[in-house]
Structure 1
């Protein structure tokens, strides 16, 4: 399997596909349209046509969802959300079209959520559901390949969506989206490219048994 082609989603350039995300009565709807007004065909990527990442403006809430196509150009999924302001990133691979995920603002209810200022952390080991994961020391520089190596403390995660793990990264302004997959089929090591210096939040997803656990980390990227 060639992982070099799709192990990193941070495509540059003009997107030829527009996304429109709405929320009503606990249902998220995503409409897709290319620059000519037609419906784009989507390639299956890591077992799904669409990976949908939703984060609250303060980066406290995180959802990785897989909406289903209900008609050409329309995907939906039911997901109750608390009142607040969210940014949605539609992670797709349109056939023959340039595309880069950009934030879609979603307002739920009337309560606004402010953007955040991320603080550097020194807790690189997180335990969730009795499963411990450590992010090894990261020296992140912008525009370089940055290794993200996760120590699973002797436990091997299950394959989840075609990989041993998934890492989603968003900058503190909730404007830049990066989704990386492992370097190979049987590793929990990743490489990410950060376009700009600044503070970024990482959500690392690993599956143990039937549960997917999400481990959050904050890193600083330097020039």
Structure 2
């Protein structure tokens, strides 16, 4: 399943709204609670499952220098997830959900602030490789604005190609793309089975500088690789 969502800063789509319980948070670990409201203004209770979850929550600093992909639990129409946002600043949350009544997946967004003094960090420069300890990922392909393109992320460990990636949430990779400035949003899943390379088909909504965040699982651990590209 390869699902793409394009969304800017709007908090409402097709009458559905993401409503945080609090929009100003303290730094550090705390429960973040929110509701998804339907067109009638009431909390949505029935959802289809998409990639093993009824809701995927993406959290990113607005300067796109930090990223989290987490999975809240729902009780009585209220979703709760433990977030650990260590630094003050402006953040954006995106919820990918598929209300049963709507019959398709949509993306809802909201802004939250972590209290305290902060200075925005510069966007990391464009790079084609990401490293973390023994792991290295190389990005191949050229994303384009308004045109579908193939991107491949090749995973190596200790210099050797990794050919035993593990499925994570019913996929061998999750790629979230955010555009600097307006935070236009794309979330896609791989084409076919991975080798050492994880392949995606992606169409960017317009020109700009983008941050790519790739979740992958190996050795029982989920890691997130990040890249900066320009289209």
- TM-score norm. by structure 2 comes to 0.83
Partner SS for 2:112: strand
C-alpha distance after superposition, 1:58-107 (max 9, x if no partner): 111111000000212x1001122222211111111122326642431111
Partner of 1:28: 32
2:206 is aligned with 1:202: no
Cα distance between partner residues in 2 of 1:152 and 1:66: 25
Do 1:125 and 1:134's aligned partners in 2 also have CA atoms closer than 8 Å?
A: yes
C-alpha distance after superposition, 1:176-204 (max 9, x if no partner): 11110001244610011211110100001
Q: How does 1:106-185 map to 2 (within 5 A)?
A: 106-111=112-117, 114=120, 118=123, 120-121=125-126, 123-136=127-140, 138-153=141-156, 154-156=161-163, 157-185=165-193
1:143 shift after superposition: 1.4
Backbone CA RMSD of aligned residues: 2.4
Do 1:120 and 1:220's aligned partners in 2 also have CA atoms closer than 8 Å?
A: no
Q: Which runs of 5+ in 1 are unaligned?
A: none
2:92 is aligned with 1:96: no
1:28 shift after superposition: 0.8
Match of 1:37 among 28, 38, 41: 41
- TM-score norm. by structure 1 comes to 0.85
2:68 is aligned with 1:63: yes
Aligned length: 213
Residues 1:126 and 1:144: Cα distance change in structure 2 (over 3 Å): same
Partner of 1:50: 55
Do 2:53 and 2:71's aligned partners in 1 also have CA atoms closer than 8 Å?
A: yes
Q: Which runs of 4+ in 1 moved over 6 A?
A: none
Cα distance between partner residues in 2 of 1:144 and 1:117: 28
